[in-house]
Structures are given as structure tokens and as C-alpha cells.
Amino acid sequence: MSDESTVLKSQILNPLFCIRNIISNYHTNLGKDFVKQDISVNEIIVMRAIQDNIIGSDSNIHISDIQNQLNVSKAAVSRMLDALEKKGYIRKDIDKENRRNLIITLTPAGKDILYCKLSKLFTLFI
């Protein structure tokens, strides 16, 4: 992975942790309606991180990037991804150029739920 790619991923993921803290605060202080659809704050962060992933791109966010930024184990990220896949929010594909890598993308349902949750969050600031 190039230094430029690492910097780009850091620029994408670092603001997500600010969002994670805001969402956690919102959830704690303003009610449970944010999580009525059976999705955790960390799952939303993961979905936002992979929102721009596309098959064939060199700048996709990988599991190790999420693991490092969330400061959780690879197993924890895998469990979140498995849960999101079971809910129909993400899709996992094997990278055709490097079969050791997974390309994780949002499904249409995943895009909808992410948009819905982020829209509710952003209304707090308007």
C-alpha cells in the first residue's frame, strides 16, 4: 500500500471517529430511536468507511484499515461485517487481483440505512 493511499484512508477514517463519538453521545443522551433498526454505532462507522468502496479500485478501505482505526481486533471487525452481511447491508467479494483480499461494498439496503441514520444525526446540527 502506498503512502499516498495510507494518507487518503486516514483522511477518510479519522473524521469518522468524531462522528462515532457524536453518535454515541446522541444515543446515550437523546434516546434509543437511533438504533431501533438493530444496528450499532460501530456498524454505522464501518458502513460509512466502506461507502465508497468499489470493485477494482486501488483505494478501497480494507478490514485492516477499519481494525486499526476502530482499535479493535480483526475478529471484532469480522463479526461486525458478518452481522452487516446477514442483515443484507453489505456484500463481500473476493478481490480478483489478490484473492487474499475481500472487497466489501454496501448493498442498496445498506446505502438506504446509512443515509437514514446519517440524516437523523445531521439534523441535530441544523
Cα 40 → chain centroid: 11
Cell numbers representing residue 16 in the block: 469518522
- Residue-wise pLDDT tens digits, 59-73: 778 888 888 888 889
CATH number for the 3-125 domain, one of 1.10.540.10, 1.10.10.10, 3.30.420.40, 3.40.630.10?
A: 1.10.10.10
Which SS3 state, helix, strand or coil, does residue 104 take? strand
Which SS3 state, helix, strand or coil, does residue 19 take? helix
- Residue-wise pLDDT tens digits, 11-66: 666 777 777 777 776 666 544 554 456 787 788 888 988 888 777 677 778 888 88
The letter for the amino acid at 98 is N
**Domain ranges across the chain:** 3-125
Give the pLDDT score at 65: 84
Give the pLDDT score at 56: 67
Q: Give 90 or 30, the one with higher predicted confidence.
A: 90
Q: Report if pTM > 0.85.
A: no
β-sheet bridge partners, residue 93: 103
Indicate the burial class of 20 (C-beta count within 10 angstroms; 0-12, 13-18, 19 or more): middle
